[in-house]
Amino acid sequence: MVDPFGRAIYYLRVSVTDRCDFRCVYCMSEDMSFLPKGDLLTLEELDRLCSTFVARGTRKLRLTGGEPLVRRNILQLFHNLARHLDSGALDELTLTTNGSRLAFFAPELAACGVRRINVSLDSRDPEKFKAITRRGDLAQVLRGIDAAQSAGIDVKINMVALKGVNEGEIVPMISWAHARGMDVTLIEVMPMGAIEPDRLDQYLPLSDVRAEIARHFTLRDLAYRTGGPARYVEVAETGGRLGFITPLTHNFCESCNRVRLTCTGTLYMCLGQNDAADLRAPLRESASDDALNAAIEEAIARKPKGHDFMIDRAHTAPAVPRHMSVTGG
């Protein structure tokens, strides 16, 4: 699939549920209302949708959410999608998780062919971790990371940089993760969905963070790309990789290779725009995939050039009304 700007679209991210066992302060409000379970696509429907994308050239599938591992029987979907790895149609099947249930699921995920995962970890201080996630248990997440590594899965740590909250933990997080063979990616807070705190209070530009890290470590720019928005450096002292996702300070859209599907079958062609295509109706309309294929083709032809994220005094409202958990980060 190629979009109007000549970008090859070969990466599908699927939010398999909007629910989560955490309520991270930058992601959700304390009092979230979630979709009625009956509105969700079934696991069979998610499989059919993903498989249609694979047949159209998608090489990488990431299941996310909400928290993907809280969806009931989600491992069934991993097991079924693994057939595309076996056939060679798919290069990678992966997930982004908060790690809360990873200790339990890691061996089975590995058995499904999952080789790399992203685990979100914004603090290694148990109290701060609980405050950021509003309910998470750090020890449980750390056990999940251990289990994933023991199962032979590569773990990358995603850390959202939060002003005045975890600024001082960034350098120690890099040392800790790199010593355990895990890459780290730092993420700027994005203005998505209504939350109680003011985004401006949370927003920490990664340009400042990088300057601070460079006071502790020698950073070498890398040509390494995962086809995603992160720009990587190598930390000379640790030999580990560090990524920066900077939607606010640097627009990363020119190399965008992805589209995002919600758990109700809505396809968002851009994380930061409102335009979307309904794939649930064509999916349910007939057992043939013709209508679905036509809807996907039409949607890719509308993929926008990029997002317009901004956070400053004049732009404190969300750029899009939906939370990150709807389209999956």
Region near ligand SAM per CB under 6 A, out of 63-71, 84-92, 142-150, 284-292: 63-71
Two tokens, residue 168: 């001082």
Q: How many CB atoms lie within 10 A of CB 239?
A: 9
Two tokens, residue 255: 């190399």
Q: Give pairs for 274-277: CB < 8 Å, separation 24+.
A: 274/320, 274/321, 275/302, 275/304, 277/302
Segment 14 to 53, residues that bind ligand SAM, using CB under 6 A: 20, 26-27
Q: Is 329 in the site for ligand SAM (CB under 6 A)?
A: yes
Find how far residue 315's CA is from the centre of its chain: 24
Q: Give pairs for 26-31: CB < 8 Å, separation 24+.
A: 26/160, 26/162, 26/189, 26/195, 26/197, 26/199, 26/202, 27/193, 27/195, 27/323, 27/324, 27/325, 27/329, 28/193, 28/195, 28/323, 28/325, 29/193, 29/194, 29/195, 29/196, 30/134, 30/196
CB of 5 to ligand SF4, least distance (A): 29
Which CB, 65 or 272, lies closer to ligand SF4? Answer: 65
Which CB, 52 or 133, lies closer to ligand SAM? Answer: 133
Two tokens, residue 326: 């709807």
Segment 67 to 126, residues that bind ligand SF4, using CB under 6 A: 67, 98, 120
CB of 133 to ligand SAM, least distance (A): 9
Q: Is 145 in the site for ligand SAM (CB under 6 A)?
A: no
Q: Is 144 in the site for ligand SAM (CB under 6 A)?
A: no
Segment 145 to 164, residues that bind ligand SF4, using CB under 6 A: none
∠ Cα 190 159 214 (to 5°)? 100
Q: Is 96 in the site for ligand SAM (CB under 6 A)?
A: yes
CB of 128 to ligand SAM, least distance (A): 15
Residue in 1, 14, 16, 24 binding ligand SF4, rule: CB under 6 A: 24
Which CB, 20 or 43, lies closer to ligand SAM? Answer: 20
CB of 206 to ligand SAM, least distance (A): 11
Which residues of the shown chain bind ligand SAM in the complex (CB under 6 A)? 20, 26-27, 64-65, 67, 96-98, 120, 158, 160, 187, 189-190, 192, 324-325, 328-329
